Amino acid sequence: MSEKKAFLKQLDMFNGLSEQELASVAALCSEASYKTGDIILNIKDSADSFFLIRSGTVQIITNPDVLEAKPEMLDLVTVNLGKGQSFGEMGLVDRGARSATVRAGSDTDVYVINCNKFLSLCQQDTHLGFLVMRNIAADLSFKLRYRNLI
């Protein structure tokens, strides 16, 4: 089993996918690395990709202007995410602009998946598309209900 496929198999987003479906998603993954403090994406950017954290941490910042002016205000970091978690996946659902800035909280390695290519795969394999979108909806629902737990 490829390293990408083995990683994807561990993620809730891909729960229920067959080995072949996992291989199809793995084929869309490209690798990227960020150093501590690097901005990975900015609020209001177009949602062209989503990210799967392989190692490290990222900070989700909903008010980046204040944080830049006053770096000591770390409480503006809404959420910290780590290995096995995803970000940017809301772009798959609504294709809207980014709702937050994401900064590497430590040296971070991610898999990046292009939204258009992934949505095309979902249209070709509707079973895969249904399962992933259901899993994303469940995760977003959990994050909204229990955001104080993250």
Comparing 33 with 101, the larger pLDDT belongs to 33
Cβ–Cβ < 8 Å for 52, 139: no
Token duo for residue 26: 């793995």
CA 81: distance to chain centroid? 9
> What does pTM read for this prediction?
0.85
pLDDT digit string, tens, across residues 71-124: 554 446 677 889 999 998 888 887 777 888 899 999 999 999 999 999 999 999
pLDDT at 31 over 60: yes
Rounded CA-CA distance 64/74 in Å is 11
CATH of domain 3-145: 2.60.120.10
pLDDT digit string, tens, across residues 40-71: 998 888 889 999 999 999 998 877 555 455 55
pLDDT at 68: 54
* Domain extents in the chain: 3-145
In 13-126, the DSSP E strands lie at 30-34, 39-41, 49-55, 58-61, 77-81, 86-87, 101-104, 108-114
- Between the alpha carbon of residue 84 and those of residues 12, 46, 94, the distances in Å are 8, 23, 23
pLDDT at 29 over 90: yes
Cβ–Cβ < 8 Å for 30, 110: no
